[in-house]
């Protein structure tokens, strides 16, 4: 029961974030909402493991958590340089 | 008896976490511009995820699952602020203007423009800086003093 409540709350948050991804005027709105969707999916994996009585799926959740931030930085770098292969060299201005 | 106490703690934590998650998602849809949306979702998302995972830790007891959940909480605590910060700086450097409002709800266009002019004067456009390589020290000093 308690896990079902948490799962429903996470699903509501995920649906609202999807709305912002579709509606966001700038690409940063979509990026923030996509980050929130990633967080919600991690929580959903963790909660679903407890819901079905097999909490071993948490490894997948940890993996998603690490991929999530890498994805955000990759999109930001692509937006700034237009290429993911740019090396550091001079320090970026921001 | 102990089970009852643990269940009660988990219920409280799950309700608190669900509240923060849903409020953050509503704020993501209701706020007027990128920066306030970032603030609405970045703070409450960390709190909501932390509370829900902490409730799961109480349910798991002293097992390997609890250790993994604690690692997951630590990942959330480290990555969520960093991602928020990176998105904010990227939006500012591209030139997304924050919208400022006065007490009656009208947008203060003049002040918004003044703030953006001060920022761009302290830090020239990224494109211009990439062309004129050099003088990283001067940029750092100007950028710091204008932000405070």
Q: Which residues of B touch A72 (CB under 8 A)?
A: 83, 86-87
Query: According to the model, what pLDDT value does residue B2 have?
Result: 87
- Whether chain A has a CB inside 8 Å of the CB on B50: the answer is no
pLDDT for res B120 = 64
Per-residue pLDDT at B129:
47
Q: Which of B12, B56, B76 is best to mutate for the A interface (most A CBs within 10 A)? A: B56
Which residue in the set B34, B42, B80 is minimally distant from A26, CB to CB? B34
Say how far apart CA B132 and CA B134 lie, in whole Å.
6
CB A31 within 8 Å of CB A73: no
Average pLDDT rounded to a whole number, residues A11-34: 91
Say which of A3, A16, A68 has its CB closest to residue B29.
Answer: A16
Residues B17 and A5 sit within 8 Å (Cβ to Cβ): no
Report the candidate in B40, B99, B66 with the shortest Cα–Cα distance to residue A17.
B40
**Is B68 part of the contact surface with chain A (CB cutoff 8 Å)?**
yes
pTM above 0.90, yes or no: no
The answer to whether residue B24 neighbours chain A at the CB level (below 8 Å) is: yes
Length of chain B: 148
| Integer Cα distance of B60 and B132 in angstroms | 57
Q: Do B17 and A9 touch (CB under 8 A)?
A: yes
Do A46 and B60 make contact, defined as CB atoms within 8 angstroms?
Answer: no
Contacts of A82 in chain B (CB under 8 A): none
Q: What is the 3-state secondary structure (H, E, C) of A11-34?
A: HHHHHHHHHHHHHCCCHHHHHHHH
Q: State the ipTM, two decimals.
A: 0.84
Of A83 and B135, the structure prediction assigns the larger pLDDT to A83
**Nearest-10 crossing angle of helices B34-60, A2-23:** 160
- Give the distance from residue A26's alpha carbon to the nearest chain B alpha carbon, in angstroms: 8
Q: Between A59 and B102, whose confidence is greater?
A: A59
Q: State the pLDDT at residue B11.
A: 94
Q: For residue A43, is pLDDT > 50?
A: yes
pLDDT in tens, chain B (148 residues): 888 999 999 999 999 999 999 999 999 998 888 888 998 888 899 999 999 999 999 998 888 999 999 999 999 999 989 999 999 888 888 877 777 666 665 666 666 666 667 666 665 555 544 444 444 444 444 444 444 3
> What span, in angstroms and rounded, lies between the C-alpha atoms of B43 and B65?
26
What is the pLDDT at residue B147? 40
CA distance B83 to A73: 8
Please report, for chain A, the start and end positions of each structural domain, with discontinuous segments joined by +: 2-81
Average pLDDT of A42-60? 89
- Measure CB to CB from residue A65 to each of B21, B28, B76 and give the nearest one: B76
What per-residue confidence (pLDDT) applies to B77?
Answer: 92
- Tell me, what's the pLDDT at B142? 41
């Amino acid at each position: 029961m308690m896990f079902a409540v948490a799962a429903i709350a996470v699903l509501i948050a995920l649906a609202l974030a999807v709305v912002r991804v579709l509606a966001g005027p700038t690409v940063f709105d979509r990026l923030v909402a996509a980050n929130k969707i990633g967080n919600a999916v991690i929580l959903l994996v963790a909660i679903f493991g407890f819901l079905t009585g097999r909490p071993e799926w948490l490894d997948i959740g940890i993996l998603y958590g690490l991929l999530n931030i890498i994805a955000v930085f990759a999109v930001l770098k692509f937006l700034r340089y237009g290429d993911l292969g740019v090396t550091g060299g001079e320090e970026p201005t921001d | 008896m102990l089970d009852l106490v643990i269940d009660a703690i988990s219920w409280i934590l799950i309700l608190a976490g669900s509240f923060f998650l849903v409020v953050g998602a509503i704020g993501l849809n209701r706020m007027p511009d990128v920066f306030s949306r970032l603030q609405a979702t970045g703070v409450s998302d960390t709190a909501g995820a932390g509370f829900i995972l902490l409730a799961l830790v109480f349910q798991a007891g002293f097992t390997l699952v609890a250790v993994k959940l604690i690692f997951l909480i630590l990942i959330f605590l480290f990555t969520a602020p960093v991602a928020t910060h990176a998105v904010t700086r990227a939006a500012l450097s591209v030139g997304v203007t924050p919208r400022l409002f006065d007490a009656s709800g009208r947008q203060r266009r003049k002040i918004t423009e003044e703030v953006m002019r001060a920022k761009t004067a302290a830090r020239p456009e990224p494109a211009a800086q990439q062309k004129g390589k050099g003088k990283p020290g001067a940029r750092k000093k100007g950028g710091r003093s204008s932000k405070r």
